[in-house]
Structure 1
Amino acid sequence: MPKASLPVLMMLVLLSPLAIDIYLPSMPAMALEFSISNSQIQSTLVLFLFSMGIGQILIGPLADKFGRRPVALFGVLLYGFSSLLAATANDFELLLLARVLQGLAACATSIVAFSAVRDCFAPNETAKLYSYLNGAICVIPALAPSLGGMLALQFGWRSNFIFMSLFAVVVMTIISLRFNETKPEHTVSDGKLYHWSRYLPILTEPHFLFYSFSCMTAMAAILCYVSYSPVWLIDHLGVSELYFSGLFALNAFINILACFIAPSICKKLGNRHTVMTAFSLFVATAILILLFQNPTIIQVLPPSFAFMLPMMLLCIGFALLLGPATSMALAAFGHRAGTATALLGCIQMSGAALISGLVQQTSLSAPNAIALVCCIAPLVLIIVMKQPRLAHWHHHDTDVSAAS
């Protein structure tokens, strides 16, 4: 079995954040061109992530049945096509269709990347590699908004989607030449592709459920932050597109550093305690958001900084959580990694999209909406992790922490 090349896997996972982040500075302009509300343009992000999540149930079994390489090639091809469709969309409904297809494409490449890690590396190595993949994902939010903002200023927002299609051509070339099949010979792939029996053993495993919901909680907080930020900063506070890109990039670089430091923290604390630390940072984010909206604080700090500074804690918490939580969720499923990864992605992304979509239907301001999502579910999960009688949901025999 060939080892998967980490740089090649990083190329596969970059497609998803690129489709989310590159057009963020253009969202207010897109809303004006299509004559739609802010919540409607935010739905292009929510629908993309929801499609990416639901699509994983369909594509995950295909990765186990037919292999990782064919699914990767299909995903990159669909990504390029859907990006061109978005670039030429003359009505909002067609743009939404393009985003649904982009979500399906991105979920295919994401499944392949994370399944290949589980295919090729021992369980005690996977948390570190998942953190590195998440670190690569976080490079895009640091760079893409600035690139997207400059492209939009010169050529209009449609150039963002043309860039995505060209990037897909580059990835297709690399995957064709450098990515070999990694599916283990013992992978369970017999029987019907979408029979309930494929999913039941995974959905009845307590660790999988707990850590999937943990990933969903983190993703919901990040999605609210990403979708509300352009509307709040550009429309409400009146900052420029490039200034917004700079603020967003600063937090993204914090996220990158946290992702690459996370393996060391996880090694010292153990998976479970690292997840609990991440949840504590989410709650601290909510508290800081509310404190920084105080008029006294706003007189000292520029409003844009008062909004973005607490998000640094959110980014750090997100970086700390995803590696160990993903590793714990998938640890028991080496024989069906594609399907398990797909279910994890479905719960994480579609659940986060639903939460974010529901919050966007309220009249809450951006700071209050993000604070709400950062506080409620993380607090509940912390309480669960503090209960000894619920240890079978979140504690694992192989998770040896420094505190034990």
Structure 2
Amino acid sequence: MTRKLLPILMMMVVLSPLAIDIYLPSMPEMALEFSVSDTQVQSTLVLFILAMGIGQILIGPLADRFGRRPIALLGICLYIASSLFAASVVEFEYLQLARVLQGIAACATSIVVFSAVRDRFNAQQSAHYYSYLNGVICVIPALAPTLGGFLALHFGWRSTFIFMTLFAILVLFIVAFRLPETRPDHKNNHTALYRWARYQPILANSQFVFYALTCMMGMASILTYVSYAPSWIIKHLQLSELTFSYLFGFNALINIAACFIAPKVIKQLGNHQTVVVALWLFILSAVTQVVMQQIPVESALLAGIYFMLPMLLLCVGFALLLGPATSMALSAFGERAGTASALLGCIQMSGAALLTGLLQQTQFSAPYASVVMIGTGGVILLLTMSLPAYKHWHQEQVSCH
């Protein structure tokens, strides 16, 4: 059963990154068609992530109450409807609304995927499976921008949302016929869905809070990179959409390799030490970016490469970070895995969206915005882990069901 489960989860987990990455090269065209600024177009990305995070607070308890399968099916149906909506809008505000709905839909599938892993595997196994799933997620940034650029070039940017619709229909059929129910049996299904008592024990767990914030910092770093890169490469440096896709895709390929190597690193170092290594890579990425920006350049392509190279370290660090951090955040929860996953997703996604949105209000250029986000988060978390008084925040805990 477990061997059959992983490929299904891999298909489902693609929906979220696909909705983020496939239309990145189309952003300048979308800004032109709707007569809006680059920052407004970037808001469609931030709104998606924000909705994906906030929606999990609502959907997580539903996954615990009614099971993983029905939530997955409803989420995919909403994803199909919102993708069609986005493909047909004529006013920018409706595109933003479509992205909010799409974010809510994506969060439903995300909760089911991560809860199903926690349902079926222990903490150490979960870290490995999360890393494999993250490896699949990382394939999308390597392929989606190039595919999206091709679709936009030949059929317009709306075709990227049509593609999302068709892919989601395929996933719907697979989930409808092949996804088993993984939710543990509950003794009491009659308590209120949204009450503080459901969330309080999770938020009172210091390990959960620490690793949720760690995931948030990692996601904020990646979101800063993804949201700033298109305008910096295409608009500021005047490189083509295709060049952007190649540079972005190369980093994503490195990320893919790192995600599939991550389980071996976790097995060798353990969850805790892998997180430490990942955070050091974040700091190294920020330092390298500062150094790269001091080097004189004579070509736009070289400037683009100098911007993207430090992001390789970020990609590798993120690949190493997310699996063990997610696993350790959820390790103390058994039948509440859906609610815990929801809170984790809310903190990770919504927090990252808010931090990135705030950063976009500053005057930092793309390289230094990345330095601020990546470097500050890495330093704060590593300093916290170095203090003996906070050891209980991040040390391994035994799972209880």
Of 296-305 and 4-13, deviating more is 296-305
Deviation at 1:273, TM superposition (A): 1.1
| Counterpart mapping for 1:109-124 below 5 A | 109-124=109-124
CA gap of 1:386–1:80, structure 2 versus 1, over 3 A, is: same
CA RMSD of aligned residues (A): 1.6
| Counterpart mapping for 1:278-297 below 5 A | 278-296=278-296
CA gap of 1:304–1:188, structure 2 versus 1, over 3 A, is: farther
- Work out whether 1:223 is the aligned partner of 2:223: yes
- Work out whether 1:237 is the aligned partner of 2:237: yes
Of 299-308 and 236-245, deviating more is 299-308
Q: Matches of 1:38 and 1:84 in 2, distance apart? A: 23
**Paired position in structure 1 for 2:92:** 92
Render the CA deviation track for 1:320-376: whole Å, top value 9, x for unaligned.
000000000000101210000000000000000000000001111011101100011
**Paired position in structure 2 for 1:169:** 169
**Paired position in structure 2 for 1:325:** 325
**Paired position in structure 1 for 2:274:** 274
Deviation at 1:298, TM superposition (A): 6.2
| Counterpart mapping for 1:130-209 below 5 A | 130-186=130-186, 189-209=189-209
Q: Matches of 2:284 and 2:272 in 1, distance apart? A: 19
Equivalent residue letter for 2:75: G
Taking structure 2 as the reference length, the TM-score comes to 0.97
Equivalent residue letter for 1:194: Y
Q: Matches of 2:71 and 2:195 in 1, distance apart? A: 20
Unaligned runs of 5+ in 2: none
Deviation at 1:187, TM superposition (A): 7.2
**Paired position in structure 1 for 2:44:** 44
Render the CA deviation track for 1:46-75: whole Å, top value 9, x for unaligned.
000000000000000000000000000001
Equivalent residue letter for 1:16: S
Q: Which runs of 4+ in 1 moved over 4 A?
A: 1-4, 297-301
Deviation at 1:185, TM superposition (A): 0.9
**Paired position in structure 2 for 1:78:** 78
Taking structure 1 as the reference length, the TM-score comes to 0.96
* Equivalent pair of 1:135/1:260 in contact (CA under 8 Å): yes
Equivalent residue letter for 1:165: T
* Equivalent pair of 1:17/1:141 in contact (CA under 8 Å): yes
**Paired position in structure 2 for 1:402:** none
Equivalent residue letter for 1:104: I
The number of residue pairs the alignment matches comes to 399
Deviation at 1:386, TM superposition (A): 0.6
Equivalent residue letter for 2:359: V
* Equivalent pair of 1:292/1:298 in contact (CA under 8 Å): no
Q: Matches of 2:233 and 2:123 in 1, distance apart? A: 42
Unaligned runs of 5+ in 1: 400-404
Equivalent residue letter for 1:198: R
Deviation at 1:190, TM superposition (A): 3.7
Equivalent residue letter for 1:311: M
| Counterpart mapping for 1:58-77 below 5 A | 58-77=58-77
Equivalent residue letter for 1:216: M
Of 3-12 and 292-301, deviating more is 292-301
**Paired position in structure 2 for 1:12:** 12
- Work out whether 1:128 is the aligned partner of 2:128: yes
**Paired position in structure 1 for 2:305:** 305
